[in-house]
Structure 1
Amino acid sequence: MSHARSTAVLLLLAAAVGCTSEAGAPERPAPSPRSPSPPAATAGRSPAPRPSAPVAPPQLDSTAGAHGPARGNAAFRYTAGARGEALTVTVSCQGSGTLRIRIPVLRAAFPVECGIGEADATGADFDLPAAHRAGTVHVTAPPGVTWAATVGRGESAEPPPL
């Protein structure tokens, strides 16, 4: 019986200590109209979004691969093509910064400057002996830049050797 009483006393004591009344709690002063709002109240809010055109993979006549819209670094594959076709990599981006585009199978790389306004499409054509091979495009992007890319194939700009 003493064990049961001890348990009951402990439970009542725990309940009394765990509960608080608002009468004992200090009042928080009301913010004055001149004081700034507390940082915690504004930390979760972001500025109103600016209207802009969405970033989408650029349209090409022949698509071998595409990726996006994306943020941050990424790599994506593209399929093989016929010998003698040129490889085109076109990137559309929006945000402030420079993308670094790398195509390892071609041992090629190029930068793309992005702007804050509407998404612009920029690209490069590769008329190299290895352009028919399948490969991967690696994109290194700074924070805050949204991008999309398309890899296409087309006729070679140079005439074939005789």
Structure 2
Amino acid sequence: MNADSDSASASDSVKSPPELDDSETVVARQGETRGAGTFGFGEGEKGDALIIAVRCQGEGEIEVSVKPVNVGFPLECVDGEASTATSTSTSTTYNQIGVAGAEKKGTVSVLAPSSVRWSMTIGRGEPQRGEAPEPSGETE
């Protein structure tokens, strides 16, 4: 049985920041951090999208905010073993921001309870092209 190697892989997943696709460029990484933290990232090329990959473990919600684009999102973290590719409790989130100003240098701040451990990778890449999102809200 490979329980020990599975556990070792799981615990490494929060210690190591998430990986990005080969077509994306890493501009900053934050290793395992407990509770709140802030770190900076460098400038990109005009037209680049900003990619934020977050992995967390522990019971609670974290709030990620990105300046200067003024984008934020919550992430519910999972208590127990850190997520792995084969885990049913995945707590790795990838977000791509393709708004005006996303190519500028900035900072990422995470608000998190001390019970939560997280790691993060910031990258740059081509904005994803696809269908426009469906309008939300009800119309009458």
Interval of TM-score (by shorter of Structure 1 and Structure 2): 0.7 to 0.9
Correspondence for 1:59 among 3, 11, 19: 19
Cα separation, 2, equivalents of 1:88 and 1:81: 11
Q: Say how many residue pairs are matched.
A: 109
Q: Which residue of 2 aligns with 1:91?
A: 54
Q: Determine whether 1:104 maps to 2:67.
A: yes
Number of the residue aligned with 2:43: 80
In 1: Cα distance, 2:50 partner to 2:127 partner: 9
Q: % of aligned pairs identical? A: 33
1:129 equivalenced with 2:93 (yes/no): no
> Could you say what secondary structure the match of 1:53 adopts?
helix
User: Structure 1: where are the runs of 5+ without partners?
Assistant: 1-50
Shift of 1:123: 2.2
2:133 — aligned with what?
none
Matched AA of 1:53: S
1:5 paired residue number:
none
Q: d(CA) in 1 for partners of 2:129 and 2:104?
A: 18
Q: Does 1:118 align with 2:82?
A: yes
Note the 1:39-54 alignment, pairs <5 A.
Answer: 51=7, 52-54=10-12
C-alpha RMSD of matched pairs (Å) = 1.5
Cα distance in 2 for partners of 1:140, 1:123 equals 18
Structure-1-length-normalised TM-score: 0.63
Partner of 1:18: none
SS at match of 1:67: strand
Answer with 1 or 2: which has the greater Rg: 1
Whole-angstrom distance in 1 between the partners of 2:39 and 2:114: 19
Instruction: Give the residue type in structure 2 aligned to 1:101.
Output: V
Q: Which has the higher strand share?
A: 2
Q: Larger RCO: Structure 1 or Structure 2 (Cα < 8 Å, ≥ 6 residues apart)?
A: 2
User: Is the 8 Å Cα contact of residues 36 and 114 (structure 2) preserved in structure 1?
Assistant: no
Aligned mates of 2:94, 2:69 — CA distance in 1: 15
Give, as a single letter, the amino acid of the residue that structure 1 aligns with 2:122.
V
SS in 2 for 1:80: coil
Structure 2 match to 1:40: none
What's the offset of the Cα at 1:115? 0.3
* Consecutive aligned runs of 4 or more in structure 1 exceeding 3 Å deviation: none
Cα distance between partner residues in 1 of 2:82 and 2:57: 7
Structure 2's unaligned 5+ residue stretches are: 1-6, 84-90, 131-140
